[in-house]
Amino acid sequence: MASFALDPEQLKWCAQVRDGAAERLRPLAEAGEPGRVNRPLLAALGELGLLARLFPGTALELCLLRESLARECTEAETALALQGLGAHPLLESPELAARWIPRVVSGEAVAAFALTEPGAGSDAAALELAAEPAPGGWRLTGEKCWISNAPEADVYTVFARTTPGAGARGVTAFAVPADRPGLGGERLDMLSPHPIGRLRFDAVPVGEQDVIGEVDRGFRVAMTTLNRFRPSVGAFAVGMAQAALDAAAAHAASRTAFGAPLKELQAVSHTLAEMATRTEAARLLVYAAAEAYDSGAAWTARSSAMAKLFATETAQYAVDAAVQIHGARALERGHLLEHLYREVRAPRIYEGATEVQRSIIAKELFA
């Protein structure tokens, strides 16, 4: 894997994204209701041209965007990422893309990626949502759970079983508008502050025009999307780790204890040094994974798994360490670190849990 450094133009753009997030997006995020889709925030992301960067955009560009947003406003980062995850599969169908992508890019339409089920999380090939043949297409019956943006999205990329007993080979991806009869759901009250819900399908009608890609080839659509977004989950984590490090360093420089600034205490300064080292290492792994994806390198799967694994675990460490340096004030509702402490836990699970990433890396070692 090659070393990686950003050029001056990339650094300038990242700074502009951070400034826009702090000045324009953060106030909208703070005005929103936790656990609900923030449509004014999405509209602002569209007006700033940031959602347009998702389609097509490079993996590196996506990583820089997510890291920059996460440093200043995790709500904006997550809103953007969920739009990309939910709508990216639609690019497989020119007709569906023409219908939905312009509305997603403007922030008018909310997209969602509906893969996970109560009994099919990391083992996505085990999903059971049934697509039963019906005149003109299929009827979807079953449940999806822990779906980001559900049940408030306007269009769902839904993965359903069209061939029973066929494992990954019998899954088809469908674009399902929220107003289809038989589609319902409710919000779930989760630790993470972004919107997550359950979807119920009661013979929801879908037709040939709703198929994304090919019938029985939906698992490939899911994996293609997840492989593209996996390094950028690491970028999100790097942004949170950097925000935690910045807050901890500022506090250590200004807070006095035992007659000296906290930064003069070796226990604190060594913790900050460890946070900084791990965060930079995670950042380089993320950039290398994005570069591998963009270049079509043979080691892309291993690189992406390493990036997500190390970056999300690093973010968990960095936020926890920053809370420890701040003390009780960091646990007050509304404090930056209290927010990050709730936000940082989920990325170690979604889009392939830490244990799944380790399995991918181990498998690649013997390929």
Instruction: Please write the tens of the pLDDT for every residue from 80-107.
Output: 999 999 999 999 999 999 999 999 999 9
199, 216, 233 - which closes a domain: 216
| 282 and 255 part of one domain | yes
| 212 and 245 part of one domain | no
Decide if 173 contacts 220 (C-beta within 8 A). no
Put simply, whether the predicted model's pTM sits higher than 0.75 gets the answer yes
Share of the chain above pLDDT 70, in %: 98
> With bands split at pLDDT 50, 70 and 90, how would you rate the model's confidence at 183?
very high
52, 79, 106 - which closes a domain: 106
pLDDT at 280 over 60: yes
Half-sphere exposure of 308 (CA within 13 A, CB side): 29
Active site residue 351: yes
| 47 and 89 part of one domain | yes
pLDDT at 351 over 90: no
> With bands split at pLDDT 50, 70 and 90, how would you rate the model's confidence at 1?
very low
Specify the amino acid at residue 308.
Answer: K
> With bands split at pLDDT 50, 70 and 90, how would you rate the model's confidence at 227?
confident
Structure-token match 């008018």, residue found = 108
| 304 and 290 part of one domain | yes
| 119 and 205 part of one domain | yes
| 164 and 98 part of one domain | no
How many domains does the chain fold into?
3
State the chain's mean pLDDT as an integer. 94
> With bands split at pLDDT 50, 70 and 90, how would you rate the model's confidence at 123?
confident
Q: Which of 276, 317, 324, 289 is nearest to 66 (CA)?
A: 289
Instruction: Report the pLDDT averaged over residues 3-12.
Output: 83
- For the stretch 127-137, pLDDT in tens is 999 999 999 99
Query: Domain limits at 173?
Result: 111-216
| 164 and 281 part of one domain | no
| 324 and 191 part of one domain | no
Q: Which of 132, 351, 355, 364 is catalytic?
A: 351
pLDDT at position 3: 47
| 235 and 290 part of one domain | yes
Is residue 349 a part of any domain in this protein?
Answer: yes
According to DSSP, residue 333 is labeled: T
pLDDT at 310 over 50: yes
| 244 and 346 part of one domain | yes
| 258 and 361 part of one domain | yes
216, 249, 265 - which closes a domain: 216
Q: What CATH number is attached to the domain comprising 40?
A: 1.10.540.10
CA gap 358, 120 in Å, rounded: 19
Instruction: Report the pLDDT averaged over residues 12-29.
Output: 96
